[in-house]
């Protein structure tokens, strides 16, 4: 039946089928008799995409005629995952599509599996950008995302002999129906060269930048359909191409090869995503990517603004630009350059426009993740930008000196240029100075940046420039799409699916937390989701897991600060305990399945060692007949958005156990609780706010607090802190060869027995205690399920719609534009 909800204008099932067949026969040039799942996926996508494009066009026209302020979200990463299911659900056409393809002999689930997972991001930051553009569209804000169209997303991970092995993720093998190439939108981008200045006829000093290498940016547009609204926004991704005249001379002179080599070099700019999460490595190509993307995006934004024939001072009334971390900070400099060098705006007026346009979001306090570009590299690649940075810095330091004439060290501390050798450009400082608002991503994190890394800037600007916007997740993908049965059950009590647009309506299920029938249905759905994951594990790892066991999950990038090593040490401790149990004791024990997943940066030795240990433990434990169903250990290879959609709904417990003060927010914590899993976590990031919302009885917290971390680290440095005795037993087991060659784990162990920077030993006992509580509480099924329901009922705050409303209200000053 055609639902009223089909906001993206499908006439109904028959019309969909006609479109589907037309695309098979014409777009794909295939016959319906020779149409496999891949072709069917492509044809169905084309049919859906056509609808999105109609809605996209309407939306863009509307936004242009309304002529109101737009927001641009600049992110080097958009971890979108698959598009088809999301497009159908957001457009309200899943039912007709599903039954439409079924009539033609296809299962929708099989078609969905054909789509490659668009993994143009590393982890939390990239997925946040994807959730945010979903919310911007769903809440009817006029807003675009700008990013890079990497030909290779984050590498694919395989596990060979327990080790991570990377292979390239060429995700564009078959044409991508979810993008619209805009070959007509081509922007010239320059690198290198030199600067000159001269005095023009009016006696004005004019700066020019010329003589460098040129490449072209080509736009690819990805429609972003809002849920339950016709609003369809745009994600514009840039690809690099050689300029049309690339080496015409060489080509004419018959030097084809070097001519082609040059052209290939241009394409490498957008070829590959850097696979580092929370780790800076100063590669020139990365800076090139940043400038390429920023320059193309600003050119586009400025061109759109100029069409309105407004005076420049109105630019910030029409345009808000959000910087997703420091990666797009060059935009600050580029806009200043456009205004003063190209448009003839005076410095001060231009700088006013710049600072009123930008907002900067910080995502980390880890020192190794802060971008600092060496001045020589910077000057060579972007000579004019370096000059402008010096000017920005000069004016800024003059202002600081006036405000604090006696504080000489302050100037060195806040200078954009770090006086190291070579000198470095501190991108975070440039981002702060170039923005009107700076925000952290959870309350604790936003406090920490004010009191630690950006303390001096609070002194200079006052506290109002700094604020918090706690992250959120889109309930469309992370509840409705990933867990349709739970979404349906919730809807049966809420009375509609309105909670997918107003997540606070989840409160309406709280009265049913102790309702036996509701509890039963809740448990049945969890079991179904666990069985779905168990089937996946059986298929990919060949391991049988018991769906009645407690599913304990930690999936996220592998990083020492996230402490997967603590988790696996805990698993070893559990294994040793089981080995020491009597048969009577075994009957009392709670069976567990410990599930891990996540990628390590290819060059991160310690993270790779952690993966190896997890797999080594898995091999030994799963094969040990003494253990049986009491413990299974699983490492799921190639964790990505699509796998998260299967894993997240299946957890009983998920672990978010970073050293306090290191995880800015975390967002998977929100996804797990929204799906009825409880958290075992530290007092860190958004765990704190989740505790406040769901109540402290419905979360398992442990470990030292952020405020003690510095002291503890100090102790490790200046005295001999004894190793936790349980951890010592675990290390003894590893060192005695229980999990294979102990030499592999020497540095992993000594990082703990040595300085223990991440306080694994300090938190270990507290961690084991919390785990014990989890085991006990899981036995009490009634209480467990009521806690699960209560937790979900109180997750409304963590919708990314709420986060976007806060950005819109307090940073962007943009308002929704309703369709119709
Ligand atoms: C310097 C560069 C190579 C770099 C690349 C990626 C630096 C950082 C990152 C990624 C950072 C990241 O993903 N941060 C995470 O952002 C999430 C969304 O705000 C937070 O929830 C999470 O705690 C934080 O680690």
Burial of 461 (0-12, 13-18, 19+ CB in 10 A): middle
Rg of the Cα trace of the chain? 27
If we measure between CA atoms, which residue out of 339, 673, 345 comes closest to residue 506? 673
Q: In angstroms, how far is CA 757 from the centroid of its own chain? A: 26
Two tokens, residue 64: 């242009």
- Residue of 128, 289, 364 to test ligand 1 pocket, by largest number of atoms within 8 Å of CB: 364
Residue 185: count other Cβ atoms within 10 Å of its Cβ: 17
Tens-digit pLDDT profile for residues 200-240: 999 999 999 999 999 999 999 999 999 999 999 999 999 99
From the list 59, 474, 609, 667, the catalytic residue is 667
Tens-digit pLDDT profile for residues 18-45: 999 999 999 999 999 999 999 999 999 9
Two tokens, residue 114: 């054909």
CB within 8 Å of 423: residues ≥ 6 apart: 374, 375, 417
CA distance 681 to 691: 10
CA distance 716 to 713: 5
472 CB under 6 A from ligand 1? no
Q: Is residue 562 among the annotated active site residues?
A: yes
- The pLDDT score that the predictor gives to residue 5 is 45
- The pLDDT score that the predictor gives to residue 820 is 72
- Residue of 119, 121, 123, 424 to test ligand 1 pocket, by largest number of atoms within 8 Å of CB: 123
Q: Is residue 643 among the annotated active site residues?
A: no
Q: How far is the CA of 55 from the centre of ligand 1 (A)?
A: 33
Q: How far is the CA of 141 from the centre of ligand 1 (A)?
A: 25
Q: Inter-axis angle of helices 94-103 and 84-91, to 10 degrees?
A: 120
Q: Is residue 557 among the annotated active site residues?
A: yes
**Residue 560 φ/ψ, nearest 5 degrees:** -60, -35
Q: How far is the CA of 570 from the centre of ligand 1 (A)?
A: 26
From the list 556, 573, 643, 656, the catalytic residue is 556
CA distance 325 to 351: 21
Q: In angstroms, how far is CA 319 from the centroid of its own chain? A: 24
If we measure between CA atoms, which residue out of 651, 715, 658 comes closest to residue 684? 658
Q: How far is the CA of 364 from the centre of ligand 1 (A)?
A: 6
Q: How far is the CA of 666 from the centre of ligand 1 (A)?
A: 9
CA distance 551 to 594: 6
Q: Is residue 493 among the annotated active site residues?
A: no
From the list 51, 437, 557, 612, the catalytic residue is 557
CA distance 295 to 381: 13
User: Is the CB of residue 651 less than 8 Å from the CB of residue 677?
Assistant: yes
Residue 372: count other Cβ atoms within 10 Å of its Cβ: 18
Alpha helices in 453-563 (DSSP H): 455-461, 475, 484-494, 516-541
CB within 8 Å of 176: residues ≥ 6 apart: none
Residue nearest to atom 16 of ligand 1 (CA): 125
Q: Is residue 526 among the annotated active site residues?
A: no
With b meaning 16 or more CB within 10 Å and e meaning fewer, what string describes 289-318?
A: bbbbbbbbbbbbbbeebeeeeeebeebbeb
125 CB under 6 A from ligand 1? yes
Q: Are strands 78-81 and 118-120 parallel, antiparallel or unpaired?
A: antiparallel
Dihedral sign (CA 598, 686, 325, 704): negative
For 109, 366, 544, 603, 652, the CA distances from 277, given in Å and listed in that order, are: 32, 11, 32, 11, 27
Q: Is residue 713 among the annotated active site residues?
A: no
- Residue of 659, 664, 686 to test ligand 1 pocket, by largest number of atoms within 8 Å of CB: 664
- The pLDDT score that the predictor gives to residue 2 is 33
- The pLDDT score that the predictor gives to residue 619 is 98
Q: How far is the CA of 295 from the centre of ligand 1 (A)?
A: 23
655 CB under 6 A from ligand 1? no
Residue nearest to atom 21 of ligand 1 (CA): 666
CB within 8 Å of 588: residues ≥ 6 apart: none
- Residue of 75, 76, 121, 124 to test ligand 1 pocket, by largest number of atoms within 8 Å of CB: 124
**Residue 276 φ/ψ, nearest 5 degrees:** -90, 130
User: Is the CB of residue 816 less than 8 Å from the CB of residue 536?
Assistant: no
Which residues in the chain come in under a pLDDT of 50?
Answer: 1-5
328 CB under 6 A from ligand 1? no
- The pLDDT score that the predictor gives to residue 1 is 29
From the list 476, 562, 612, 704, the catalytic residue is 562
Closest atom of ligand 1 to CA, residue 123 = 13
277 CB under 6 A from ligand 1? yes
Closest atom of ligand 1 to CA, residue 128 = 18
Strands (E), 598-689: 631-636, 653-656, 678-682
97 CB under 6 A from ligand 1? no
CB within 8 Å of 232: residues ≥ 6 apart: 8, 52, 55, 56, 58, 59, 137, 223, 224, 225, 226
Two tokens, residue 722: 């004894």
Q: How far is the CA of 561 from the centre of ligand 1 (A)?
A: 12
- Residue of 277, 281, 441 to test ligand 1 pocket, by largest number of atoms within 8 Å of CB: 277
Question: Concatenated DSSP letters for 347-367?
Answer: HHHHHHHHHHHEEEE-----G
Residue nearest to atom 1 of ligand 1 (CA): 280
Q: How far is the CA of 663 from the centre of ligand 1 (A)?
A: 9
Two tokens, residue 228: 């339950």
Burial of 397 (0-12, 13-18, 19+ CB in 10 A): middle
CA distance 146 to 187: 14
Q: How far is the CA of 735 from the centre of ligand 1 (A)?
A: 34
471 CB under 6 A from ligand 1? yes
**Residue 70 φ/ψ, nearest 5 degrees:** -115, 155
CA distance 216 to 382: 16
Q: How far is the CA of 672 from the centre of ligand 1 (A)?
A: 19
If we measure between CA atoms, which residue out of 399, 470, 468, 384 comes closest to residue 433? 399
Two tokens, residue 606: 């310690």
């Amino acid at each position: 039946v055609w639902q009223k909800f089909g906001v993206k204008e499908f006439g109904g099932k028959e019309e969909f089928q006609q479109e589907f067949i037309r695309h098979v026969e014409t777009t794909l040039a295939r016959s319906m008799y020779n149409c496999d799942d891949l072709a069917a996926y492509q044809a169905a996508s084309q049919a859906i995409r056509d609808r999105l494009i109609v809605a996209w066009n309407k939306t863009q026209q509307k936004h242009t005629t309304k002529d109101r302020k737009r927001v641009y979200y600049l992110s080097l990463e958009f971890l979108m995952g698959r598009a088809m299911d999301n497009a159908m659900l957001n457009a309200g056409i899943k039912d007709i599509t599903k039954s439409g393809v079924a009539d033609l002999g296809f299962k929708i689930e099989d078609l969905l599996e054909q789509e490659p997972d668009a993994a143009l991001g590393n982890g939390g930051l990239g997925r946040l950008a994807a959730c945010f553009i979903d919310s911007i569209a769903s809440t009817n804000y006029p807003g675009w995302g700008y990013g890079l169209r990497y030909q290779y997303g984050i590498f694919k991970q395989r596990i060979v002999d327990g080790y991570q092995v990377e292979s390239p993720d060429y995700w564009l093998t078959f044409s991508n129906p979810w993008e619209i190439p805009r070959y007509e939108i081509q922007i010239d981008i320059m690198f290198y060269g030199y600067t000159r200045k001269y005095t023009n006829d009016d006696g004005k000093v004019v700066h020019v930048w010329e003589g460098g290498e040129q490449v072209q940016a080509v736009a690819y547009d990805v429609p972003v359909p809002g849920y339950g609204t016709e609003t369809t926004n745009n994600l514009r991704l840039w690809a690099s191409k050689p300029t049309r005249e690339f080496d015409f001379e060489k080509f004419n002179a018959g030097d084809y090869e070097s001519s082609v080599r040059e052209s290939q070099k241009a394409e490498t700019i957008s070829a590959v995503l850097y696979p580092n999460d929370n780790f800076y490595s100063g590669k020139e190509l990365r800076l090139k990517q940043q400038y390429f993307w920023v320059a193309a995006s600003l050119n586009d934004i400025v061109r759109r603004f100029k069409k309105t024939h407004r005076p420049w001072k109105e630019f910030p009334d029409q345009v808000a630009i959000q910087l997703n971390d420091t990666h797009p900070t060059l935009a600050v400099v580029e806009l200043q350059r456009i205004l003063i060098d190209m448009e003839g705006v005076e410095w001060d007026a231009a700088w006013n426009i710049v600072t009123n346009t930008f907002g900067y979001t910080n995502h980390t306090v880890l020192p190794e993740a802060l971008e600092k570009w060496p001045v020589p590299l910077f000057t060579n690649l972007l000579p004019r930008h370096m000059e402008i940075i010096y000017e920005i810095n000069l004016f800024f330091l003059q202002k600081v000196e006036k405000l604090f004439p006696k504080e000489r060290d302050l100037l060195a501390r806040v200078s954009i240029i770090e006086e190291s050798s070579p000198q470095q450009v501190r991108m975070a400082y440039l981002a702060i100075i170039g923005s009107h608002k700076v925000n952290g991503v959870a309350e604790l994190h936003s406090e920490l940046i004010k009191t630690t890394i950006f303390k001096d800037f609070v002194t200079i600007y006052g506290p109002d420039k700094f604020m918090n916007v706690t992250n959120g997740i889109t309930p469309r993908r992370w509840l409705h799409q990933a867990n349709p049965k739970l979404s349906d059950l919730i809807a049966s009590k809420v009375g509609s699916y309105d909670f997918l647009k107003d997540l606070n309506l989840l409160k309406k299920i709280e009265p049913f937390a102790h309702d036996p029938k509701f509890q039963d249905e809740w448990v049945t759905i969890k079991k179904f989701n666990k069985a779905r994951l168990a089937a996946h594990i059986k298929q990919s790892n060949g391991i049988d897991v018991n769906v009645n066991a407690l599913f304990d999950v930690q999936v996220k990038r592998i990083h020492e600060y996230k402490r997967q090593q603590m988790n696996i040490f805990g698993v070893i401790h559990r294994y040793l305990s089981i080995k020491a149990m009597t048969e009577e004791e075994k009957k009392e024990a709670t069976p567990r399945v410990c599930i891990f997943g996540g990628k390590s940066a290819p060059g991160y030795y310690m993270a790779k060692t952690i993966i190896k240990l997890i797999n080594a433990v898995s091999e030994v434990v799963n094969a040990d007949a003494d253990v049986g169903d009491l413990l299974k250990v699983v490492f799921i290879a190639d964790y990505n958005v699509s796998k998260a959609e299967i894993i997240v709904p299946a957890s009983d417990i998920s672990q978010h156990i970073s050293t306090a003060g290191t995880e800015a927010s975390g967002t998977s914590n929100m996804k797990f609780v929204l799906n009825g899993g409880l958290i075992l976590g530290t007092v860190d990031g958004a765990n704190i706010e989740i505790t406040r919302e769901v109540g402290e009885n419905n979360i398992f917290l442990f470990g030292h607090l952020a405020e003690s971390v510095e002291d503890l680290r100090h102790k490790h440095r200046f005295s001999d802190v004894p190793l936790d005795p349980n951890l010592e037993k675990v290390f003894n087991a590893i060192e005695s060869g229980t999990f294979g060659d102990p030499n592999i784990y020497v540095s992993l162990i000594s990082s703990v027995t040595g300085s223990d920077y991440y306080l694994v030993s300090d938190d270990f006992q507290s961690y084991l205690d919390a785990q014990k509580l989890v085991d006990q509480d899981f036995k009490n099924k009634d209480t467990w399920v009521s806690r699960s329901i209560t937790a979900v009922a109180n997750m409304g705050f963590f919708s990314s719609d709420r986060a976007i409303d806060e950005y819109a209200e307090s940073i962007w000053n943009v308002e929704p534009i309703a369709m119709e």
